[in-house]
Amino acid sequence: MTSDISNFSDLGLSEPILQAIKAIGYEQPSPIQAAAIPALLAGEDILGTAQTGTGKTAAFALPLLSRLDPKQTKPQILVLAPTRELAIQVAEAFQSYAQGLKGFHVLPIYGGQEMSGQLRQLRRGVQVVVGTPGRVMDHINRGSLDLSELKSLVLDEADEMLRMGFIDDVEWILERIPEQRQTALFSATMPAPIRKVANRYMRDPREIKIVSNTSTGDNIEQVYWMVSGTNKLDALTRILEVESFDGMIIFVRTKTATVELAEKLEARGYSTSALNGDMNQALRERTVERLKSGKLDIVIATDVAARGLDVDRVSHVLNYDIPYDSEAYVHRIGRTGRAGRSGKAILFVAPRERRLLHVIEKATRQPILPMELPTGEAVTAHRIDNFKAQIDKVFAEQVDLTFYHELLASYSHANDLYPEDIAAALAYLVQKERPLQVKFAPLKPAKEHQRAERTERTGKGKKFQNDDDMQRYRIAVGRTHKVKPGDIVGALANEAGIASRHIGHIKLFDDFSTVDLPKTLAKETLRQLKTLRVRNQVLDIRMDEGPGGESFAPRRKNDKKFDRKPKKAGKAAAKK
Ligand code: AMP
């Protein structure tokens, strides 16, 4: 992290927005925010290279909201996003940053959602619309989205929109909104077609790219855990059980999170304290002293508060929330492995932050290896070891046990019990709150919102369904319509709300294509799919009759296949 990063209050944001930031608990602008906010406030166009996790949403939402007129009820800000998940997420972010703006309304619009509700809300008046390109086009065509007062347009995750085949739609929209507007384009990468859009539709955009070349010491073991199947807190507590650590610093993003997490770990018996910018200097120093002296084992900190923190006994750094960039990462993990000792750095990465992980790896030129969460057996083994160690300690300290010895001898005699049985009952009592035998529920499948994650759409790390669960459908768009598999996936995911992991094998033929979808698909979804358009063709989806059926064209050798064939769920898939 660059040390000269300003405070939010230096950036020129409006008072209600600063209040909201304070209430949410952000301590300091992220690098992309420090660069983008003043430029957007000054009315400039910007071209930002930034991935999810860098704080890019706030980088455009905060300045645009600062300049918004809540009394004007026609849309002033339009954000185009590739997926409904992102549209919802961005709309939620706007809502929370605008908590101090009276009469503020933001509306996410995406396919697969009732049109009537969207129309009603649009009539009532909204200042910000966040939508997927297809649905925004629909509304423009119907005349239900009045963009005559639009001041700013944001293209979020532009490279994703390109990849999903929406770039023509985006250009179509760009042609139909006021020329006198501000445009901000964010993209994790800047491929040529995106640059072309930028050159054509943006006014001398300021390029914002946070580059940092940093390196880390090789005395620090670096691992990451891809957040899935269980929440971060449960994952953290499992890790705390089996990692043997001396001191640990856990990094989170907000001041509020430092306090909340510290309370939760305290409640689980760890001596923990928060360390954040709200605490006065004396209290912060005292906390660091307590960590040094071993009165505290875990400190939950924000980047700002941990700056310069230098405690030799910190053996572990755990990045509970991913840092914004590689520089912040290097700074954080540099809190361990001090004074020639070795250290370990653990990083939690949500599936949608996968790209940021690669950026960090690339910039630090160090591999960060995947880790598995400790299993129930591992935790059990640890608890048993600790339990035995406690008994050993009593003997080692030569505690006088005569009184207990006599008490239990007489109890055993009177009740005709074996000493082992009594010892077992006592062990049970001692460990009642914390049973030695641990069995975790099998990891749940990732939550719905994670399912449609962009990263999963790439096919990597995908858990496919069984062939048996799938039904082959035929859609009336094929190679002659210049369709690409990405167009089909994009339409099914965004317009019909089918999570991409549920979209199987897609095969393109000349006049039609086939796509495998779950047998359990709701009738309502199928109905929607019938009228859905891809490349201007109505899909007219129907069950495929298979080879021999009159509708099935012969397979050609050179049929371009986009292999999304479901793999049998097996060990390899489960291991992932
Ligand atoms: P994004 O890159 O927009 O997806 O944001 C990633 C996460 O960072 C979100 O959970 C935001 O709430 C959080 N965030 C954004 N800006 C800040 C900030 N200045 N301080 C702390 N957290 C932030």
Question: What is the amino acid identity at position 359?
Answer: V
Q: How many domains does the chain have?
A: 4
CA of 56 to the centre of ligand 1 (A): 7
Q: Mean pLDDT across the stretch 342-365?
A: 90
551: in domain? no
Ligand 1 midpoint to CA 55 (Å): 4
Q: Taking the CA atoms of the chain, what radius of gyration do you get in angstroms?
A: 28
Q: Which of 8, 11, 24, 30 gets mutated to test ligand 1 (max ligand atoms within 8 A of its CB)?
A: 30
Nearest CA to ligand 1 atom 6: 53
Q: What is the pLDDT of residues 428-466, one digit of tens each?
A: 999 998 899 988 877 665 443 344 333 333 333 334 345
Residue 202 pLDDT class (50, 70, 90 cuts): very high
Q: Is residue 548 part of a domain?
A: no
Task: Output the residue whose Cα is nearest ligand 1's atom 11.
Answer: 55
Residues 40 and 94 in one domain: yes
Q: Is residue 528 part of a domain?
A: yes
CB 346 within 8 A of CB 239: yes
Better pLDDT: 128 or 116: 128
Pair (360, 385) in one structural domain:
no
| CATH number where 536 lies | 3.30.70.330
In this predicted structure, the answer to whether residue 560 has a pLDDT above a threshold of 50 is no
Burial-class residue 415 by CB neighbours within 10 Å (0-12, 13-18, 19+). Answer: exposed
CA of 114 to the centre of ligand 1 (A): 30
Residues 492 and 476 in one domain: yes
Looking at the fold, whether 112 and 183 belong to one and the same domain comes out as yes
Q: Which of 186, 253, 256, 352 to mutate to test the pocket of ligand 1 (most atoms within 8 A of CB)?
A: 253
Distance CA 382, CA 106 (A): 50
In angstroms, what is the span from residue 257 Cα to ligand 1's centroid? Answer: 12
Q: Hey, whose CA ends up nearest to atom 18 of ligand 1?
A: 26
Q: Give the residue numbers spanning the domain of 113.
A: 8-212
- CATH number for the domain harbouring residue 117: 3.40.50.300
Contacts of 445 (CB under 8 A, 6+ apart): 229, 451, 463
Based on the domain organization, do 354 and 385 belong to the same domain? no
Q: 64-73, 349-358, 405-414, 517-526: lowest mean pLDDT where?
A: 517-526
- Phi first, then psi, for residue 478 (nearest 5°) are -145, -160
In the structure, which protein residues have their CB atom closer than 6 angstroms to any atom of ligand 1? 26, 28-30, 33, 52-58, 253-254
Q: Which two tokens stand for residue 379?
A: 């935790």
Q: How many CB atoms lie within 10 A of CB 399?
A: 10
Q: Do 16 and 120 reside in the same domain of the chain?
A: yes
In the three-class reduction of DSSP (H, G, I as helix; E, B as strand; rest coil), residue 512 is classed as coil
Claim to verify: residue 426 and residue 503 sit in the same structural domain: no
Tokens of 519: 């047998």
User: Does 358 reside within a domain?
Assistant: yes
Q: What is the mean pLDDT of the chain?
A: 85
Nearest atom, ligand 1, residue 51 CA: 2
pLDDT at 217: 66
Do residues 322 and 392 both lie within one domain? no
400 and 479 inside one domain: no
Q: Choose the residue to mutate in 28, 57, 83, 85 for probing ligand 1, maximizing ligand atoms within 8 Å of C-beta.
A: 57
Residues 337 and 476 in one domain: no
Q: Quick check: is 315 in a domain?
A: yes
Cα 559 to chain centroid distance, Å, stands at 37
Q: Is the dihedral of CA 398, 402, 404, 408 positive or negative?
A: positive
Listed residue (315, 313, 324, 188) closest to 252, CA to CA: 324
The whole-angstrom separation of Cα 351 and Cα 226 is 6
In a domain, 99, yes or no: yes
Taking the complete model, does pTM exceed 0.85, yes or no? Answer: no
Looking at 8-22, 92-106, 298-312, which range is the least confident one? 298-312
pLDDT at residue 213 tops 60: no
Give yes or no: residues 54 and 190 share one domain. yes
Distance CA 50, CA 32 (A): 7
d(CA 35, ligand 1 centre) in Å: 15
DSSP per-residue letters across 190-251: --HHHHHHHHHHSSSPEEEE--------TTEEEEEEE--SS-HHHHHHHHHHHS--SEEEEE
Domain shared by 205 and 260, yes or no:
no
Q: Closest ligand 1 atom to the C-alpha of 93?
A: 12
Domain for residue 409, yes or no? Answer: yes
Q: How far is the CA of 156 from the centre of ligand 1 (A)?
A: 15
What's the gap in Å between 97 CA and the centre of ligand 1? Answer: 11
3-state secondary structure of 80: strand
CA of 58 to the centre of ligand 1 (A): 7
The verdict on residue 91 lying in a domain is yes
Query: Which residue, of 374, 392, 422, is where some domain finishes?
Result: 374
Closest atom of ligand 1 relative to the 57 alpha carbon: 3
| CA–CA gap between residue 481 and residue 328 (Å, rounded) | 47
15-29, 288-302, 334-348, 370-384: segment of lowest average pLDDT: 334-348
